[in-house]
Amino acid sequence: MTAAVARRLLQAVMVMFAMTVIVFIAINVIGDPVDILISPDADQIERARVVQALGLDLPLWQQYLRFLWAALHGDLGESYVYNEPAIRVILQRLPATLELAVSAILIAIVVGVPLGLYAGLRPDGILSRVIMTVSILGFSLPTFWVGLVLIMFFGVQLGWLPSGGRGQTAELFGVQWAFLTKDGLAHLILPAVNLALFDACLILRLTRAGVAEVLPLDFVKFARAKGLRETRVIGVHVSKNIMIPVVTIIGLEFGSIVAFSVVTESVFSWPGMGKLIIDSINVLDRPIITAYLMAIVAFFVIINLVVDLTYTALDPRVRLQGEGP
């Protein structure tokens, strides 16, 4: 196990290195930050001074080496807009995005797994057919449209929930969290539900398919033949064997929620990383864009490692890549 984890960590380092190259090249081909940083009326001397200060007068390979050396020391540049280290700005917005992502994935699990189990155990029932039909709608409806509908119905027409912002927060471990206050929790509900809709439907359909595949197998028939209660058969024998693909999807979708919460954060004015990256792209704040992309890559690498390790906890027959039988 130790050797397998070491191999995965080495792969993670290689992925991070490859992504530094991709991110650096991609960032350097989109626009010229000098045009945004200086006044249109600035003369060529002022422009040349800014170019030199940013190191944009160096060859591209030298710019990359400087970027890589600084990144290894935790320096991803200083934001052109906020005049702070880019990684600090990202970390300031990270708790809001994590709070939203964790809430969304918990809603997706709590809704998707039980409904998927029910639909798989009673595939011909009317309620099961309704559940599967609704899940298709969940896949099909655009996130921004669902968000606007939620705002119009619950925020404007009924006035039950606030339609934007993060609300009041409270401090825990030196970080501000919205879910710790009643007002913050009310602000969290709509964006979390909007973000969870697609994943809840995905988990639901995957769980239903897993149940349909596992139920006819011999070990389930044998468990029932031994006289085990149906709740134990479903809760232990069936659920444990369908969890491997579900855990994979949950892990990857959690990363996707963090990375692609841009639409939801924009619709609900949620002050997280997604809204920050949109604002930074509009003003071509390269350090913020770079720090965001590198943070997302690191997040996905960590999630993939955790998912691989969870495999062996759920089913000892599953081995990490490269581990012997």
Q: What percent of the chain has pLDDT over 70?
A: 87
Give the count of beta carbons closer than 10 Å to the beta carbon of residue 115: 23
For 57-115, the pLDDT digits (tens) are 777 777 788 888 888 887 887 887 888 888 888 888 888 888 999 999 999 999 988 89
Tokens linked to 38:
């200086």
- Cβ-based neighbours of 169, under 8 Å, separated by 6 or more: 176, 177, 178, 180, 181, 184
The answer to whether residues 107 and 204 touch, using CB atoms and an 8 Å cutoff, is no
Amino acid at 31: G
pLDDT of residue 18: 86
- Provide the pLDDT for residue 322: 47
- Helices 182-214, 126-140: inter-axial angle, 10-degree rounding: 120
CA distance 281 to 290: 11
Q: What is the mean pLDDT of the chain?
A: 81
The reported pLDDT for the residue numbered 103 is 92
Q: Answer left, alpha or beta for residue 42, where phi above 0 means left and psi between -120 and 50 means alpha.
A: beta
CA–CA distance, 168 with 189 (Å, rounded to integer): 14
**Do residues 215 and 120 touch, judged by C-beta distance below 8 A?**
yes
Average pLDDT over residues 130-145: 86
Domain annotation for the chain: domains and CATH numbers = 86-314 (1.10.3720.10)
Of 301 and 153, the structure prediction assigns the larger pLDDT to: 153
Q: Reply yes or no on whether the pLDDT at 325 is more than 50.
A: no
Whole-angstrom CA distances from 194 to 244, 264, 290 are 26, 7, 27
Of 57, 115, 114, 56, which Cα lies nearest the Cα of 287?
Answer: 56
197's CB contacts (< 8 A; 6+ apart) are 138, 141, 143, 146
Question: 320 falls in which pLDDT band (50, 70, 90)?
Answer: very low
List Cα–Cα distances, 271 to 71, 94, 262, 266, in angstroms.
Answer: 25, 9, 10, 9
Among 108-117, 161-170, 275-284, 285-294, the range with the most confident prediction by mean pLDDT is 108-117
What pLDDT, on the 0 to 100 scale, is given for residue 70?
Answer: 81
pLDDT computed for residue 291 by the predictor: 86
**Residue 286 near residue 302, CB atoms below 8 Å:** no
Average pLDDT of the residues in 33-47 = 68
pTM surpassing 0.85?
no
User: What residues pair up with 177 in beta bridges, in sequence order?
Assistant: 170
For residues 149 and 267, is the Cβ–Cβ distance under 8 A? Answer: no
